[in-house]
Copies of this chain bind each other. A is one copy, B any other.
């Protein structure tokens, strides 16, 4: 399978922003020809589906500027650095965005949202045994927090009404776990 692998020839930073860091690399294709790969370097992120004792999911409504819509999402956020433990980041983002502290966290695996153009990994968790701590939003974060019965949210995913992929993925994975 090594015949699929592409080799880096050189790498250039083409944009270093506040959020986005964009690279452009010259590469050698498996057939020896040259090509270019443009992509984003990302520290990684976490997302968490918090489920309370009554079977409600804590969800957020947040305006996502790039898509121009208010989306329903589960809590999520970036790692502070590539070295941060995703579980620490998960506990932090859950508390900061919703105020909730998780008594029990279950790791659901990670995924690549767009492996063609970013190295971002998103680590998924399910949070249970919730207790209330202190909410603490970033200066440029505006988020409404609500609760919705798990089965209602699951129905919305199946109906195609949840457009954020991490939310779709965690709801579908949690459904499998909750069956057991």
Q: Which residues from chain A sit less than 8 Å from chain B, CB to CB?
A: 1, 3-6, 14-15, 17-20, 22, 24-25, 27, 29-31, 33, 35-40, 61-71, 108-122, 139-140, 142-144, 158, 160, 163-165, 168-169, 172-173, 176
Contacts and interface: CB of A to CB of B under 8 A. Distances in A.
A110 B123 CA distance: 21
30 contacts: A4-B62, A4-B63, A6-B63, A14-B17, A17-B22, A18-B36, A19-B117, A20-B22, A33-B139, A33-B140, A35-B140, A37-B66, A39-B65, A39-B66, A64-B115, A66-B115, A66-B118, A67-B121, A68-B119, A108-B160, A110-B160, A111-B165, A113-B114, A113-B165, A114-B120, A115-B164, A122-B165, A165-B165, A168-B169, A172-B173
Copies of this chain present in the complex amount to: 2
A180 to B, nearest CB: 11
**Chain B CB within 10 A, most for which of A38, A109, A114, A118:** A114
B17 A116 contact: no
Nearest to A17: B38
Contacts of A5: 63, 70
A111 B25 CA distance: 28
A19 B114 CA distance: 13
**Chain B CB within 10 A, most for which of A36, A140, A142:** A140
Contacts of A115: 64, 66-67, 69, 71, 163-164
B18 A15 contact: no
